[in-house]
Structure 1
Amino acid sequence: MALRNIKQLVPLLDRVLVQKIKPETKTASGIYLPESSVKDINQGTVLAVGPGALDKNGNKIPMSVKPGDKVLIPQYGGSPVKVNDEEYTLFRDSEILAKINE
């Protein structure tokens, strides 16, 4: 079963669906950079969040991010998800390193 739309993917519990920000491959003056000089950026945009995990008493733990937030993510980890030709990553809420305020 292939997903046709990312909105069909709803994270469960304390999962966060993030789309990584792709590094620029072209400079401001229009020069294309070789792949070897382009570094990965550990930032992403939150697309969807789960309802939150439950503590041992059954109370819902609120999520620390919401859709649309810019976040700092770990270089490794998460669960990669591919929908059509786009790549996304599922992280636990506790794996998100920081929220970026603009």
Structure 2
Amino acid sequence: MKYMVSWIERPQGSPVEYENAQKRILDVFSQWKAPANFKIELFVVRVGEWGGHMLVDCDDPVAVHKACSTFPAFEFQARPVIAIEEAVRVELEAIAWRDGLKRD
């Protein structure tokens, strides 16, 4: 299953608290290793913000949850996603099925 994981930094308080939080985040991140079943396909940061997106292929939602829980300074969203080709294929199948229904 593929997940699009997005995050934004939680409000921290004063400018000094933000600076300290950023140092801690980078310290934790520099030591973090993705689990073996966690294939990162895309990992980007939004320009000018303290947040980003990661497209990950992982068969274990618990591993995704654990990765998000590792960085409590961020608010995370992890949404299952599918390739556009698959989405279009099944949408066309659904339309064809609906079009085949009897009308009263």
**TM (normalized to structure 1)?**
0.23
Q: If you compute each CA radius of gyration, which structure gives the higher value, 1 or 2?
A: 2
**Higher RCO (CA-CA < 8 Å; seq separation 6+):** 2
User: TM-score, length-normalised on structure 2?
Assistant: 0.23
Higher share of residues assigned helix: 2
